[in-house]
Amino acid sequence: MSNDAAWAESVQQFQQMLSQSWGNMLQAMQPGELNKAMAMPPSTPVNFAGDKLLELQQQYLQDMRALWGQGMLPQMPKTGDRRFAGENWAQNPLSVYSVTAYQMQARALMGMVDAVEADEKTRARIRFGVEQWLAAMSPSNFLAFNADAQKKAIETHGESIAKGVANLLHDMRQGHISMTDESRFEVGRNVATTEGAVVFENELFQLLEYKPLTAKVYERPFLMVPPCINKYYILDLQPENSVIRYAVSQGHRTFVISWRNPDESLGHKTWDDYIEQAVLTAIAKTQEISGVEKINALGFCVGGTMLTNALAVLAARGQDVVASATFLTTLINFADTGILDVFIDENFVRMREMQMGQGGLMKGQDLASTFSFLRPNELVWNYVVGNYLKGETPPPFDLLYWNSDSTNLPGPYYAWYLRNFYLENKLIEPGALTVCGEQLDLRQVKLPVYIYGSREDHIVPADAAYASTQVLPGKKRFVMGASGHIAGVINPPAKNKRSHWVREDGKLPATLQGWLAGADELPGSWWDDWSEWLKGHAGKQIAAPKDYGRAPEFKAIEPAPGRYVKQKA
């Protein structure tokens, strides 16, 4: 059979498949099938605005006829979608057909989502489910349609397919998709390398102190509280992008909490345990080691929420021991939780309480998968195509290595966090929460704060980060950076990347948009702005300590990064 005849037969077979697919699609647009199409329970009414469904059907049929009329010479649609951008796609009729049909169906399905008459949360859930399905069903995910993967298989005489199978087996053994070449990294060797020592530990955390890089340090030490849903070394990836090393280089005597990766023996630990035995203990130990009355503190993401709880407990106890606080991409007001809101309702939270509210673990891999599927094309299917269809090894990238180094959470901690913050948003209600035996009232947390939000953050939306300015009563400075939840934070000045927004008149209107109306965009990182602010709360400079800890009680237990951070989930 000639090549032209083979292509003709392939296209004819694919057209038959399209006919069946189109028929199924049109059937799904019938009222009796709408619940199935939207993946909604049969009892859930799905109604559409006006004649929108009829318009979608007519447009779909029109697009179908246009594609059918192109015969064996279809034109690749120009959409800017990187999944289909290679020239191999445009040169392969079968791939062009698959992409065109896929995009037709994607438009129809998303049009149905937009036309659903429902409350905002229901529509968001439907949209999320349809987007997940569309991401999974992309022609680029299948060797039969992926023209780039097919060409590579031919050029390598099948070696890329063999390597892809080997990659798949490797990832099945390790329990997650490889986003980077993990063999190129080791905690303590080329990530988490800032010199320091463990000066205190208990069953929940190790307290790391870092070696000064300056002859003098500020008298008030600086304590960082990272999120316990990840490992602390996101703040200490490599010397050139380490927040920790930067703080040390600015003259701050720096301490960091390194969380233990919980196993079953810690499955009973609660939110109160983590506040009292970890955050409050770390604050007290930092005070004792440095011999001062007040320290400065920073909380990142969930670490910021935990720090806020600790500060409110201290305020209730009449203890004024933290001079200033920095909150990086932190939720305090949980009214806007971004895309994560699609998961949270009474039934979901009750299910988690039944599963693990009295004990057990929220597995780190489950958490990691959830966050990855918030951006499925970039963090899931991109690697399926590269690793398995093309047999590629992803390049080394420190941030993605950290992202794959997951951590568990104690079930009672996790369930309590979901109900009281994500579901019921009680932290901003005076007296609504009791933590460590104290009623929390953020009106009493009057210390100065620096609040940072990332413009493209999909986990803590910039509006949600800004909302903290409206519930904390002390003197505040808000800064917004470009990029997302992690890349916006890990943006060292030396690289001169991205930009940030500041407002020098000190006004903090009710909304982020109101704040932006008077803000200025500046090139580069926000770190230097933060450093200048922190120095204003750090006190005078004194001679840098020559040893870690404070003899005789606090001595170096082991070198940083310590053993807790090396524990695997």
**465 touches 526 (CB < 8 A):** no
Which two tokens mark 362? 């929220």
The pLDDT, as a whole number, for residue 5 is: 52
552: preceding bond cis by omega (within 30 degrees): yes
pLDDT band at 254 (very low <50, low <70, confident <90, very high): very high
- Contact indicator for 438, 317 with CB cutoff of 8 Å: yes
- Three-state secondary structure call for residue 542: strand
Examine the pLDDT at 502 and tell me if it is beyond 80: yes
CA distance linking residue 227 with residue 331, whole number of Å: 12
Proportion of the chain above pLDDT 70, given as a percent: 90
Helices (H), 358-458: 364-372, 376, 382-384, 398-404, 411-417
**Most confident option among 8-17, 36-45, 545-554:** 545-554
502/516 Cα distance (integer angstroms): 8
| Stronger pLDDT, 367 or 542, i.e. the higher one | 542
* pLDDT higher than threshold 60 for residue 4: no
State which amino acid sits at residue 517. Answer: A
Answer with the residue of higher pLDDT: 1 or 543.
Answer: 543
Give residue 88's identity as a one-letter amino acid code. Answer: N
Coil, helix or strand at residue 502: strand
- The single residue listed with the structure tokens 């799905």 is 46
- Identify the bridge partners of residue 296 per DSSP, sorted by sequence position: 222, 324
pLDDT digits (tens, 9 = 90+) for 97-135: 889 889 888 988 898 888 888 888 888 888 999 999 999
pLDDT of residue 53: 76
Structure confidence at residue 36 (pLDDT) = 44
Q: Any idea which architecture 196-363+408-566 has in CATH? A: 3-Layer(aba) Sandwich (3.40)
Mean pLDDT throughout 133-155? 94
- pLDDT score of 8 more than 70: no
User: Which tens digits make up the pLDDT trace of 308-323?
Assistant: 999 999 999 999 999 9
Write down the pLDDT at residue 377: 92
User: According to the model, what pLDDT value does residue 74 have?
Assistant: 63
- Segment 28-44, tens digit of pLDDT: 444 444 444 444 444 45
Q: Where in the chain is the domain with CATH 3.40.50.1820?
A: 196-363+408-566
Task: Look at the chain and count its residues.
Answer: 569
317 Cβ contact partners less than 8 Å away, ≥ 6 residues apart: 438
Mean pLDDT of the 346-355 span: 95
pLDDT for the residue numbered 268: 97
**Residue-level pLDDT at 40:** 46
How far apart, in whole angstroms, are the C-alpha atoms of residue 67 and residue 508?
A: 54
Q: Report d(CA 249, CA 252) in Å as an integer.
A: 7
CB-CB contact of 436 with 275 (8 Å): yes
Inform me whether the pLDDT recorded for 27 exceeds 80.
no
DSSP β-ladder status, 520-523 and 499-502: antiparallel
pLDDT digits (tens, 9 = 90+) for 435-473: 999 999 999 999 999 999 999 999 999 999 999 999 999
What is the residue type of 198?
Answer: V
pLDDT value of position 47: 66
Query: How far, in Å, CA of 96 to CA of 86, rounded?
Result: 11
Which amino acids are annotated catalytic? 301
pLDDT at 24 > cutoff 60 = no
Assess contact for 423 and 345: CB atoms under 8 A.
yes
Q: For residues 67 and 62, what is the distance between their CA atoms, to the nearest angstrom?
A: 9
Arithmetic mean of pLDDT, 219-230: 97
Which range is least confidently modeled, 23-27, 87-91, 140-144?
23-27
What is the pTM (predicted TM-score) of this model? 0.89
What is the band of 9 on the pLDDT scale with cuts at 50, 70, 90? low
